[in-house]
Structure 1
Amino acid sequence: MTQVVIGIENENLVADLMSLLEEMDGYSVRAVAKSPSELVDLTARLEPDVVFVHETLGIEPVTQTIRDIMSRRPATAILQVSQVRSASTVIKAMEDGARGVVAYPFAYEDVSTRVLAATEWGEQMKAVLAGAAVTNSSRGQVVAVVGAKGGVGTTTVASHLAYDYLRDNPHERVCLVDVDIEKGDVGAIFEVRQSVSIADVAKISGDLSPVVVHDAVIEHESGLHLLLAPLDVREGEFVSPEALRAIVALLRRDFDLVILDGGGHVSPAQAAIVELAGECLVVTTPDVLSMRALRRRMIAWEALGVREEAAFKVLVNKVDRASLFPASAVNKLTTAHVVSTTIPLSPRVLEPSINDRDPGAVTEVAWWSLIKGLRQELGLARGPAPAPQGVSKKRRGRKKKSAETEGGDETQATVREPAMAGRGREAGAVGLETVGILPAAVLLCLIGWQTAVTGFSFIYAGHASSVAAREYSVTGDKVEATQAARKAVPGSLRSGVSVSTSGKRVSVTVPIVKGWPGSVLPTQLTSTRTVVREQ
């Protein structure tokens, strides 16, 4: 039973607050104080879990009352009761040591949300003060994915990270939040229609509750939960850093993983999620413009105190080996940690998912292997137990069963041995079949190679005869024509090239490289061209 002490002079407010707490299971009001000194004394004696203190309790500032309680009972969660719950009021109360602000007239959702969060904090604080490590935290992990600039693939990476994590961890709850207010594409990638957005939640950020946030979250058919960007860009002004902090705090309580897609455009919202996230992945491409934008972005974030450059992780996306800017150069241009996973330029691989608006439409195993490698480097490698462990368990089960039947069930043990022998014979048969097929496969490869070489020789013979005929038409010299023909073929064939003339016809013979001795294929090709003598 969670113990509560109330410090409010107004009896009507006390009655309203007590009636709400009675509706909540597991909460009991131990005492009501009418002055700051009485409240501090009751807190020291009763050791409550949660304390409500009114902003006008006594003649002393509420700041001093909160600090007196915290100095005596640091594990007690304090909630300040105020007439107005504004951003400045909440910040001031948190600076004094309170865990939140409850506004009146009281609303059940507001009071229950603040009390639950305060109770959770108090339990963790007690464990810390007792010297115990808090291992089972109910707060989910938050990962922000932002782009060095627009068009580097930020939304694609964030969406596929969330989708792949949920496939490997179907028992967990994953939420993908589109914080790219101006150009959010998460809804298009998953083909979902929205009636509310993150802007609608941000409008009432001063009075948020879990019910309000969950009503705005859309559950996709894949099991992934989505909180989308507004359709009207003008509503983006409501998504302030303060609103994002409140929204992310509530999402962390209900989801095991929250991935924030910050897009590639600089905004206060993007800076806020970079500061809030436990891990921040910056997506860039190996080109001069993206690296210039990355450097400017890192310098700005570090100058504003949002996050140090070394605390970021950088993913190099759309790597093209033919590019003049190598992907390896990114590591030399930033002090952030560049992950070892690089994603090659693969528009054809992602085209099915874009056309079908379903990340699951990507069937390339190599693509999902890259996403899994990226998840491991971000600390998101949780998933089902690997297959070898399951095999080991089955083997242990068979050994146990064999030991149980060893004393009396000799028939089963006898039957099991021929089965193993049969599998051994099948393995031997497969090996013999492979040996028999190998010569035929080698012969087919040689025939294919010889056919290809013959085709190339035919092409070079035609080109050499055209060159020789042109030279002979100008000079009338067979030696000059032969030299021109030899220059027109690769060096390995020049020694075997011969030229013959007959009237107005010039013939060039080119040798064919034989793939093996005694080949029945022709050993040379002859091409003839007609000469037009130039006067």
Structure 2
Amino acid sequence: MTRVIIGMEGENLVADLMSILDEMDGYDVRAVAKSPSELLDLLGRLEPEIVFVHDSLGIEPISQTIRDIIARRPSAAVLQVSHSRTSDVVIKAMEDGARGVVAYPFAYEDVSNRVLAATDWTQHMEAVLAGAAMANTSRGTVLAVVGAKGGVGTTTIAAHMAHDHLVKNPGAKVCLIDVDIEKGDVGAIFEVRQSVSIADVAKVSGDLSPTAVNDAVIHHASGVNLLLAPLDVRDADFVTPAALRSIVALLRREFDLVIADGGGHVSPAQAAMIELAGECLVVTTPDVLSVRAMRRRMIAWESLGVREEAAFKVLVNKTDSSSLFPASAVEKLTTAEVLETKIPSSPRVLEASMNDRDPRAVTEVAWWRLIEQVRDEVGLGSSEGGSRGSKPARRRRGRARGRASTSTPQAPATAAEPPSAAEPTPTDPGPAQPAPASTPPPRVASESGAVAMETAGILPATVLLILIAWQVGVTGFSFLYAGHASAEAARAYSVTGSTSEAAEAAREAVPSVLRDRLSVSAHGDTVSVTVPIPKGSGEVTGLPTELTSTRTVVSER
């Protein structure tokens, strides 16, 4: 989608131009500026490919405005809007740096031809500038980690990602900067004392040098370089978006990876950091308040023109299998890409690092495997092992096919309360360095013991219910044959008058299993047949062990 900015005061002209651009596919008007200063400010924040500027915008000459636009964004194609397009106007506009002149009243054919030509030019220019930048300077990767709200684990995730990247890539230069200007906790997590901060660097951002930045950066014993938030909240005013752009631009030349902790509340510094970062990771927890706050922040960032919601990546932290709000529900509530890796609630695992104020105190291999998977999914995978680097691409392709499966394969859980029976729970941390990526994870405890104990508890009750059901069925079976046997015995006795003949007839009327203890007795005009119930659980359940059926005899002698 080609980004377009319009610098024009007349609302009718703006509406006419936007209606034509709406008819053309692939063009998105990001903003409309009413003055040259507003236009230049939007230019730095939105980075458009095409800029329409009216020749009567502001009190400055249109020539100066076009030159300012080209100086700030050389790859942008400027189209001058004028009441007429004479040869003199076109030549003067081209000399100033514009790519064409559009006359009003607007005509679709005229506007579309100028816009298509400008699009081709800006694409070619961006490719040329990108090639020159790659040839002349190496640029590090910038990752912004921001929180849906406070307390979701943003600083912990950012700090541990920086440390893990350095462990897996020993030769890399990693810098962690704290852009949560008012409430930054990076210094507390690493327990460092500071004399300078990002605010001190921002004060000299107009004349910034590598020496000034290196003097403010603290080299921690773990190898991570830290640029911390100011101790005095009053210094936060110095950290402006313009200052951050200069600082980040210099850090990208000095470090291979720059991770910014953007905090959990929307601020100008945070918005600027999100705009400057190549990737932005939003940390949230699976609960209503956090997801609601995440959505509100994404809407705010998108309305400010910082970044679209779909361009964010979301990490669900502190998951809990017993929670009423499942972690899988988060991806249904946002158009952003939700990482397949979920971080379970891990207070015991992280307790050592919080107490020692050093990420190296976490020795659980499973925890660092989770952090490595997060890095892989945001594009910071280790240079070693190409197979790991291909996982995020496969995950994205699977998600694009419609998320055919709602179950998410995860690394072994490290939380005190694991998310499922299949996810092992790590043991308590011990005093050791984080294990390298090639070390296989040890076999650790899981919930299988608890499941076995529950099975042992319900097994006797299950067996008892089965025995009772069997005995009830056998009793009904015996009752039916007892009635049949008594009818046959009464018929034989009425004819012969012999008890033995009646007993023989009763035995012939029942299955062999009931014949052994079958007995027949005659009293006057009645015959009784007693049938034994096969032994099962009658003694245990209290059910009868035999049944007697009595029939009246009608003498036929």
TM-score in terms of structure 1 length? 0.50
Partner of 2:182: 182
Distance 1:323 1:255, change over 3 A: same
The whole-number CA distance in structure 1 between the counterparts of 2:66 and 2:299 is 39
Distance 1:452 1:320, change over 3 A: closer
1:147-184 Cα distance to aligned partner (Å, 9 max, x none):
00000000000001100001111111110001111111
1:234 aligns with 2:234: yes
SS of the equivalent of 1:490 reads: helix
Following superposition, the deviation at residue 492 of structure 1 comes to: 3.1
The whole-number CA distance in structure 2 between the counterparts of 1:67 and 1:242 is 20
Q: How does 1:89-100 map to 2 (within 5 A)?
A: none
Distance 1:241 1:452, change over 3 A: closer
Partner of 2:370: 370
The whole-number CA distance in structure 2 between the counterparts of 1:160 and 1:302 is 28
The whole-number CA distance in structure 1 between the counterparts of 2:62 and 2:333 is 51
The whole-number CA distance in structure 2 between the counterparts of 1:353 and 1:129 is 44
Judge conservation of contact 2:137–2:253 (CA < 8 Å) in 1: no
Distance 1:324 1:229, change over 3 A: same
Partner of 1:13: none
Following superposition, the deviation at residue 495 of structure 1 comes to: 8.3
Partner of 2:160: 160
Following superposition, the deviation at residue 342 of structure 1 comes to: 0.6
The whole-number CA distance in structure 1 between the counterparts of 2:274 and 2:127 is 29
SS of the equivalent of 2:189 reads: helix
The whole-number CA distance in structure 2 between the counterparts of 1:324 and 1:245 is 42
Distance 1:67 1:340, change over 3 A: same
The whole-number CA distance in structure 2 between the counterparts of 1:187 and 1:284 is 22
Following superposition, the deviation at residue 267 of structure 1 comes to: 0.9
Judge conservation of contact 1:127–1:133 (CA < 8 Å) in 2: no
Following superposition, the deviation at residue 265 of structure 1 comes to: 1.5
Following superposition, the deviation at residue 277 of structure 1 comes to: 0.2
1:221-265 Cα distance to aligned partner (Å, 9 max, x none):
111100001111221121111111111111111101100000112
Partner of 1:277: 277
The whole-number CA distance in structure 2 between the counterparts of 1:155 and 1:195 is 21
Q: How does 1:110-129 map to 2 (within 5 A)?
A: 128=128
Partner of 2:349: 349
Partner of 2:463: 492
Distance 1:126 1:183, change over 3 A: closer
The whole-number CA distance in structure 2 between the counterparts of 1:237 and 1:150 is 21
Partner of 1:253: 253
1:421-465 Cα distance to aligned partner (Å, 9 max, x none):
xxxxxxxxxxxxxxxxxxxxxxxxxxx99x989x969xx9xxxxx
Following superposition, the deviation at residue 142 of structure 1 comes to: 0.4
1:210 aligns with 2:181: no
SS of the equivalent of 2:348 reads: helix
The whole-number CA distance in structure 1 between the counterparts of 2:335 and 2:129 is 37
Q: How does 1:46-195 map to 2 (within 5 A)?
A: 128=128, 134=134, 137-195=137-195
The whole-number CA distance in structure 2 between the counterparts of 1:131 and 1:161 is 30
The whole-number CA distance in structure 1 between the counterparts of 2:306 and 2:209 is 27
The whole-number CA distance in structure 2 between the counterparts of 1:288 and 1:130 is 43
User: 1:272 is matched by which residue type in structure 2?
Assistant: A
Judge conservation of contact 1:180–1:261 (CA < 8 Å) in 2: yes
Following superposition, the deviation at residue 490 of structure 1 comes to: 3.1
Judge conservation of contact 1:127–1:134 (CA < 8 Å) in 2: no
The whole-number CA distance in structure 1 between the counterparts of 2:130 and 2:334 is 42
Q: How does 1:495-510 map to 2 (within 5 A)?
A: none
1:469-498 Cα distance to aligned partner (Å, 9 max, x none):
xxxxxxxxxxxxxxxxxxxx835346889x
The whole-number CA distance in structure 1 between the counterparts of 2:380 and 2:137 is 16
Q: Which has the higher helix share?
A: 1
1:83-117 Cα distance to aligned partner (Å, 9 max, x none):
xxxxxxxxxxxxx99xxxxxxxxxxxxxxxxxxxx
Partner of 1:415: none
Distance 1:143 1:386, change over 3 A: closer
How many residues align? The count is 300
The whole-number CA distance in structure 1 between the counterparts of 2:131 and 2:320 is 52
SS of the equivalent of 2:177 reads: strand
SS of the equivalent of 1:180 reads: coil
Partner of 2:335: 335
User: 2:297 is matched by which residue type in structure 1?
Assistant: R
1:244 aligns with 2:215: no
The whole-number CA distance in structure 2 between the counterparts of 1:263 and 1:375 is 19
Following superposition, the deviation at residue 203 of structure 1 comes to: 1.7
Distance 1:243 1:129, change over 3 A: closer
User: 1:178 is matched by which residue type in structure 2?
Assistant: D
TM-score in terms of structure 2 length? 0.49
Following superposition, the deviation at residue 209 of structure 1 comes to: 1.4
SS of the equivalent of 2:259 reads: strand
Q: How does 1:375-524 map to 2 (within 5 A)?
A: 375-384=375-384, 490-493=461-464
Q: 5+ unaligned residues in a row in structure 1: which ranges?
A: 1-59, 76-95, 98-124, 389-447, 461-488, 498-525, 527-535
Following superposition, the deviation at residue 134 of structure 1 comes to: 3.8
Judge conservation of contact 2:239–2:269 (CA < 8 Å) in 1: yes
Distance 1:252 1:324, change over 3 A: same
Distance 1:148 1:496, change over 3 A: same
The whole-number CA distance in structure 1 between the counterparts of 2:134 and 2:166 is 25
Q: 5+ unaligned residues in a row in structure 2: which ranges?
A: 1-59, 76-95, 98-124, 389-448, 469-539, 541-557
User: 1:333 is matched by which residue type in structure 2?
Assistant: L
Partner of 2:325: 325
SS of the equivalent of 1:260 reads: strand
Judge conservation of contact 2:147–2:154 (CA < 8 Å) in 1: yes
Following superposition, the deviation at residue 65 of structure 1 comes to: 13
Following superposition, the deviation at residue 133 of structure 1 comes to: 9.6
The whole-number CA distance in structure 2 between the counterparts of 1:329 and 1:130 is 40
The whole-number CA distance in structure 2 between the counterparts of 1:245 and 1:456 is 64
User: 2:350 is matched by which residue type in structure 1?
Assistant: L
User: 2:247 is matched by which residue type in structure 1?
Assistant: I
Partner of 1:306: 306
Distance 1:325 1:385, change over 3 A: closer
User: 2:328 is matched by which residue type in structure 1?
Assistant: S
Distance 1:137 1:374, change over 3 A: farther
CA RMSD of aligned residues (A): 3.9
SS of the equivalent of 1:234 reads: helix
Following superposition, the deviation at residue 131 of structure 1 comes to: 7.8
Following superposition, the deviation at residue 383 of structure 1 comes to: 3.2
Judge conservation of contact 1:145–1:259 (CA < 8 Å) in 2: yes
The whole-number CA distance in structure 1 between the counterparts of 2:67 and 2:145 is 38
The whole-number CA distance in structure 2 between the counterparts of 1:309 and 1:126 is 24
User: 1:324 is matched by which residue type in structure 2?
Assistant: L
Distance 1:191 1:495, change over 3 A: same
SS of the equivalent of 2:318 reads: strand
User: 2:352 is matched by which residue type in structure 1?
Assistant: P
Following superposition, the deviation at residue 386 of structure 1 comes to: 7.8
User: 1:181 is matched by which residue type in structure 2?
Assistant: I
Partner of 2:220: 220
Partner of 1:12: none
The whole-number CA distance in structure 2 between the counterparts of 1:243 and 1:132 is 25
The whole-number CA distance in structure 2 between the counterparts of 1:154 and 1:320 is 18
Distance 1:279 1:490, change over 3 A: same
